[in-house]
Amino acid sequence: MDAIFDDFATLPLDATDTLLLEDVDALFFQSSPLSDHGTTSSETSSEPETIVAPQPKKINVSRKRQRDELEYLRTKVVDMEATLQSLQAAQALEPKAPESTWRTMARQMRSEKEAAEAERAQLTRELSEQIEFGKMLQSLIKKRPKLAVLPHLPSDQWKLSRLVADPALRREAVSQIMQTQYEALPGALIESNLVDQEADCLRFAPYLAKHFDDQLITTATLCQTIDHDYNLVARMMWLLLTAGCSLEPSKFHRLETFEEDTIYIANEGRWELLISQTRLLMKRYREANRVVIVMRTILEDELTPHDPAALVTNKSAWFILEPVDSRTRVKFYQKTTLPMVQGEALLTHPKFSDVNSPYYRIGNITDAAMMSLREMITDFTEHLEKLLTRYTA
């Protein structure tokens, strides 16, 4: 049976690269109009010369924004590559620590050096990932200029992710949304290349949405093997997810519990001066040889509506926990659009239309989203490890 893909299904990179929508070079190397010297002498003598008033140039806002975004991304990638080269050069030139006659001092020096090298290696990996992400984002925006604008919730057809006030219909909708999400798991594993993944990894990538025009989907993929018992990890992970993990308690609320394994939470965050709100459904499925946790944001809720001035989080995610001998392998895959605005008025605000505003550039927003997600994953895994260590101690 073919794998079912959810609304966040993406185009593979090879298909994206073959989208010949138009010649992008024409945007940057426009041919100049023919000059008067291009006419023949017979044409000049046979017809009287007429003066044509110059027509004002029409500004294509979408194209201008595309050019601004591409220039910003180019500059950022160049800066990051320069930083990466400096790190690599410094590492190559760093002298080896001299031999010490005092073992204690030698061990301390070795420990400090290893910690510094590990920190530098991590920074190098993160820079390399960001450079690759920036280049991929450049490629996508060249093909789809409208990707340089935040998605608009009312005009996009994400209508299935909605909860009504009626209790019976509400419960039925929750069940349907979670079941659809669970059935999309095989497709998510294929998309993320996590089916046979065993080595630890953490990667981020931008893609074009398959079912929605001009939608950017950013993905996060994690695989990590934890040195703790599978059943214990499964219990502790569900506890963290349903208790808010590292989120600020004042910003995290459990809205409803539909059953032991299905909960509905709300979270609020900020980026610069903007509010970002999340309504998230989660359900745990206990299979014979693994635990699956599926997640889907709710975009419209009659009982607990979003703040009209807030950006709305729109994402889809899966956790898979599998026993590996006496350890546990955790796999995570998340797909999200850019934060969605709820009204046209917000898009015309200077914070989105002013070229100097941090909200103007999609590159800024994707950076913030990627950094936030990286921190969330790091915080979650650290909290999980602390909880497991405390429990087993």
Q: Are 122 and 218 within one domain?
A: no
Q: Is residue 67 a part of any domain in this protein?
A: no
What is the structure's pLDDT at 60? Answer: 58
* Whole-number pLDDT of residue 157: 44
pLDDT at res. 139 = 58
**CATH code of the domain containing 166:** 3.30.530.20
* Strand duo 300-301 + 162-163: pairing: parallel
Domain co-membership, 198 together with 333:
yes
Whether residue 172 sits in one domain with residue 119: no
As given in the structure block, the two tokens for residue 125 are 């990996």
66 inside domain: no
Last residue of a domain, one of 97, 123, 143: 143
Burial pattern 295-313, b for ≥16 Cβ within 10 A else e, equals bbbbbbbeeeebeeebbbb
| Report field, pTM of the whole predicted structure over 0.85 | no
Tell me what pLDDT residue 333 has.
Answer: 95
CA atoms of 379 and 238, how far apart (whole Å): 15
| Helix axes of 61-93 and 103-143: crossing angle, nearest 10 degrees | 160
118/188 same-domain check: no
* Domain that includes residue 321, residue range: 150-392
User: Residue 304: inside a domain, yes or no?
Assistant: yes
15 occurs within a structural domain:
no
Tell me how far CA of residue 392 lies from CA of 232, 236, 330, 387, in angstroms.
9, 12, 19, 9
Instruction: Indicate if 169 and 277 belong to the same structural domain.
Output: yes
Clarify whether residues 311 and 218 are in a common domain: yes
Do both 121 and 249 map to the same domain? no
Alpha-carbon distance of 93 to 109, in angstroms, equals 18
Closest to 222 measured CA to CA, from 290, 124, 320, 118: 320
Residues 162 and 122 in one domain: no
User: Residue 195 domain-assigned?
Assistant: yes
Q: What is the pLDDT at residue 104?
A: 64
Domain-located, residue 50: no
Is there a single domain that holds both residue 175 and residue 124?
Answer: no
Show the DSSP H helices in 185-229 as ranges: 185-192
Q: Does 83 reside within a domain? A: no
Q: Are residues 295 and 364 in the same domain?
A: yes
232/116 same-domain check: no
Determine contact, residues 324/16, Cβ cutoff 8 Å. no
CB 332 within 8 A of CB 325: no
Per-residue model confidence as pLDDT tens for the chain (393 residues)? 455 556 666 655 554 444 333 333 333 334 344 334 344 444 444 444 555 555 555 555 556 666 666 666 667 777 767 777 777 776 666 555 554 555 666 666 666 666 666 666 666 665 566 556 565 555 555 555 555 555 555 444 445 678 889 999 999 999 999 999 999 999 999 989 999 999 999 888 877 766 665 577 788 899 999 999 999 999 999 988 887 654 455 577 889 999 989 999 998 887 667 788 899 999 999 999 999 999 999 988 999 998 888 888 889 999 999 999 999 999 999 988 877 776 665 666 666 666 666 666 666 666 666 666 777 788 788 888 888 888 887
- In this structure, are 199 and 216 located in the same domain? yes
Count of structural domains within the chain: 2
Instruction: Say what the pLDDT of residue 27 is.
Output: 34
Q: Check residue 353 and give its pLDDT.
A: 64
